[in-house]
């Protein structure tokens, strides 16, 4: 969590830093701050809230300077306030730094430093770093002081540090929190991810854990914990600036919902071989033989990506015959997972940086299991640390609430089902059928968008409701959970996602005329059972919004409102049924004037445990 950006070069730093912070804001927006080397001094400005508050505070004031660091915060230690906003500094106000991550042993370090006279001005864990560097600097040069500090701390960090006495340098270091160094014509821009970098260059260097770079306007040198020089390769990024901008939509979230047909298309491009009823997944080529022998898959993920994993369980078990367990990454890593040579652990993650998912993958590796990833962000830590994997190619997802990454994940999971299934018992005929239906999904999604205004009206009709129950069975049970998560995240409305069959074991007690339900009632193998559940709600005076299959006129008599989706294979229904739920949550929240792209208390990339 948190976003950091730093610039060193020939241009004015402040505008680059502010622009960079705005692009990283989805990582947290509790406060923002900047420090710029200006006329031999370091000038720092901080403000509570979003980056725009920082801009208002600076209010056009010229802070000339060609080196600077900046931070947008998602609070962990210490409440959102100016004093807790980064950059933080030492007692002598020489060393300024920004930090993404958590220093776990900060309490002990702080107590030790206080004993020897250091005065702290914030409640953060980060500040100990500045004081420790200050302390070591009494004996050794700054670079070594940073190394000694890092050797002393436990936890995670992406760090950028400037020292008033070294006006031509920025030190950046990484352990567990991402850090990318962009190489531009006349300098360097360093950030937590490529979003602030992409408008200046497509040439980047990914720092690894345990590496530090000393960056000057004319060059950089990367060293490792042993103080040994590391040669780094320059990678090329393929996201354009335009892809990261709003394209005229009111919110990134709406733009990303509308981009889903393209995202699904991109996930399948060159991978779906309809004629052969097969999927070709280049990233799995090297492990294809081991996958043939696989007996069990454990999926680890968080949030929306977790629900993609739950859908995959139904797909893999039904069509590939592979036992699949889906686990919250945050639980998996603290359990005693039973893994063997015939088990692979699959991480599903948009960002590729989620701390719990990363830790789960590392734990699986320790235990000797094969690790796989379905990751959107190219070059992210999980993409690099897994043994093999598949990229989503969904383009940047900026809205904090995940939409297009989810349907992209479902598409890849469907491809993976084909891949694993055809290695096993799945017939050519079945493979071809799935492939043909999957190829049609982008066009079917577009049909749902034609009903956007109807969905908007329904959202308005229910705008007074403060609770919702989302219900679905089988493939649509995870979609009920995802629908509920969407409205919770962006509209701050209480919603529960439940398997429909379980409703009678508890949630039905909540039902009355003020507690509406959203029922996914598509024509599939559990349709009749779903209808019985809807009857049970209606019998208790509850209102029902149904997501139903196009042409199902009879359901209109039973429920209060219907949103139709086109017919597809049952296994692929989630790719369509989730779309109206995303739109419903979006219009519900946007109708109340809420900041749907940056919902309160959330962050897009959760790089803390």
Q: Give dist(CA 469, CA 581) in Å, integer.
A: 12
Report if residue 91 touches ligand G6P, rule: CB under 6 A: no
**With contact defined as beta carbons under 8 Å apart, do 91 and 131 qualify?**
yes
Q: Pairing mode, if any, of strands 323-328 and 296-301?
A: parallel
Among 291, 302, 360, 369, which residue sits at the site for ligand G6P (rule: CB under 6 A)?
302
Report if residue 300 touches ligand G6P, rule: CB under 6 A: no
CA distances in angstroms from 265 to 142, 154, 392, 519, listed in the order given: 50, 43, 10, 28
* DSSP 3-state of 369: coil
Among 354, 371, 417, 530, which residue sits at the site for ligand G6P (rule: CB under 6 A)?
354
User: Which CB, 7 or 206, lies closer to ligand G6P?
Assistant: 206
Out of 22, 255, 543, 604, which one is annotated catalytic?
604
Among 303, 379, 472, 580, which residue sits at the site for ligand G6P (rule: CB under 6 A)?
303
Helix or strand (DSSP H, E) at 223: strand 219-224
Q: Is residue 460 annotated as part of the catalytic site, yes or no? A: no
Report if residue 386 touches ligand G6P, rule: CB under 6 A: no
Among 44, 177, 330, 349, which residue sits at the site for ligand G6P (rule: CB under 6 A)?
349
In the region spanning residues 545 to 604, those forming contacts with ligand G6P, defined by CB under 6 A, are 602, 604
What six digits make up the tokens of 492?
Answer: 């701050």
Q: Please, what is the minimum distance in Å from the beta carbon of residue 16 to ligand G6P?
A: 26
Report if residue 606 touches ligand G6P, rule: CB under 6 A: yes
Among 266, 357, 408, 517, which residue sits at the site for ligand G6P (rule: CB under 6 A)?
357
Report if residue 486 touches ligand G6P, rule: CB under 6 A: no
Beta-carbon contacts of residue 9 (< 8 Å; ≥ 6 apart): 66, 184, 186, 187, 188, 189, 217
User: Which CB, 422 or 486, lies closer to ligand G6P?
Assistant: 486
Q: Please, what is the minimum distance in Å from the beta carbon of residue 349 to ligand G6P?
A: 3
Q: Please, what is the minimum distance in Å from the beta carbon of residue 11 to ligand G6P?
A: 31
Q: Give dist(CA 89, CA 78) in Å, integer.
A: 16
Write the DSSP assignment of 571-584 as a string of letters: GGHHHHHHHHHHHH
Q: Give dist(CA 161, CA 88) in Å, integer.
A: 10
User: Which CB, 98 or 374, lies closer to ligand G6P?
Assistant: 374
CA distances in angstroms from 513 to 412, 474, 516, 537, 538, listed in the order given: 40, 27, 7, 10, 9
Report if residue 358 touches ligand G6P, rule: CB under 6 A: no
Q: Give dist(CA 69, CA 83) in Å, integer.
A: 17
Q: Is residue 604 annotated as part of the catalytic site, yes or no? A: yes
Q: Please, what is the minimum distance in Å from the beta carbon of residue 305 to ligand G6P?
A: 4
What six digits make up the tokens of 243?
Answer: 């892809």
Report if residue 479 touches ligand G6P, rule: CB under 6 A: no
Q: Is the peptide bond before 220 cis (omega within 30 degrees of 0)?
A: no
In the region spanning residues 399 to 418, those forming contacts with ligand G6P, defined by CB under 6 A, are 400-402
Catalytic residue numbers?
A: 2, 604
**Interface with ligand G6P by CB under 6 A: which residues?**
302-305, 349-351, 354, 357, 400-402, 602, 604-606
């Amino acid at each position: 969590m948190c976003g950091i950006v730093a610039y060193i070069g020939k241009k004015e730093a402040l505008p680059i830093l502010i622009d960079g912070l705005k692009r990283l804001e989805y990582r947290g927006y509790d406060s923002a701050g900047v420090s710029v080397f200006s006329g031999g001094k370091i000038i720092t400005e901080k403000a509570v809230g979003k980056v725009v508050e920082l801009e208002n505070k600076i209010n056009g004031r010229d802070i000339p300077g060609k080196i600077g660091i900046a931070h947008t915060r998602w609070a962990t230690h210490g409440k959102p306030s100016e004093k807790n906003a980064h950059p933080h500094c030492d007692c002598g106000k020489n060393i300024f730094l920004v930090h993404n991550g958590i220093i776990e042993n900060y309490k002990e370090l702080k107590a030790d430093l206080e004993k020897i006279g250091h005065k702290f001005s914030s409640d953060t864990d980060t500040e100990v770093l500045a004081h420790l560097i200050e302390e070591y600097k009494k004996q050794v040069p700054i670079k070594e002081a940073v190394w000694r500090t890092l050797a002393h701390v436990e936890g995670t960090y992406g760090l950028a540090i400037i020292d008033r006495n070294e006006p031509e340098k920025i030190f950046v270091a990484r352990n567990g929190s991402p850090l990318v160094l962009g190489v531009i014509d006349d300098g360097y821009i360093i950030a937590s991810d490529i979003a602030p970098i992409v408008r200046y260059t497509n040439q980047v260097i990914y720092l690894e854990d345990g590496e530090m770079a000393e960056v000057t306007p004319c060059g950089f040198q990367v060293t490792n914990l042993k103080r040994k020089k590391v040669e780094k390769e320059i990678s090329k990024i393929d996201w354009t600036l335009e892809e990261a901008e709003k394209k005229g939509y009111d919110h990134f979230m709406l733009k990303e919902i509308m981009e889903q047909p393209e995202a699904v298309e991109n996930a399948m491009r060159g991978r779906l071989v309809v004629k052969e009823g097969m999927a070709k997944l280049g990233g799995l080529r090297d492990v294809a033989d081991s996958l043939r022998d696989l007996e069990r898959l454990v999926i680890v993920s968080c949030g929306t990506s977790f629900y993609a994993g739950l859908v995959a369980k139904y797909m893999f078990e039904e069509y590939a015959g592979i036992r699949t367990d889906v686990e919250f990454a945050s639980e998996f890593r603290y359990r005693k997972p039973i893994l063997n040579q015939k088990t692979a652990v699959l991480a599903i993650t948009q960002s590729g940086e989620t701390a719990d998912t990363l830790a789960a993958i590392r734990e699986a590796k320790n235990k000797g299991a094969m690790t796989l990833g379905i990751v959107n962000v190219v070059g992210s830590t999980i993409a690099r640390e897994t043994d093999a994997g598949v990229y989503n190619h969904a383009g940047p997802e900026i809205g904090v609430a995940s939409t297009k990454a989810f349907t992209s994940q479902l598409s890849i999971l469907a491809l993976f089902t084909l891949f694993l299934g055809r290695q096993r018992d799945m017939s050519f005929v079945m493979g071809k059928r799935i492939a043909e239906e999957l190829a049609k999904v982008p066009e079917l999604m577009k049909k749902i968008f034609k009903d956007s205004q109807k969905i908007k009206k329904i959202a308005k009709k229910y705008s007074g409701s403060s609770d919702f129950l989302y219900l679905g069975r089988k493939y649509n049970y995870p979609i009920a959970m995802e629908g509920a998560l969407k409205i919770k995240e962006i509209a701050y409305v209480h919603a529960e996602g439940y398997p429909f069959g379980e409703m009678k074991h508890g949630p039905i007690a909540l039902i009355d005329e003020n507690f509406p339900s959203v029922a996914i009632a598509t024509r599939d193998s559990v349709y009749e059972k779903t209808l019985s559940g809807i009857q049970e709600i209606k019998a208790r005076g509850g209102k029902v919004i149904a997501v139903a299959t196009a042409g199902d006129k009879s359901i209109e008599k039973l429920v209060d409102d219907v949103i139709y989706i086109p017919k597809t294979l049952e296994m692929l229904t989630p790719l369509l049924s989730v779309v109206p739920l995303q739109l419903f949550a979006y219009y519900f929240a946007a109708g109340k004037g809420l900041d749907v792209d940056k919902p309160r208390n959330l962050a897009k990339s959760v790089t803390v445990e």
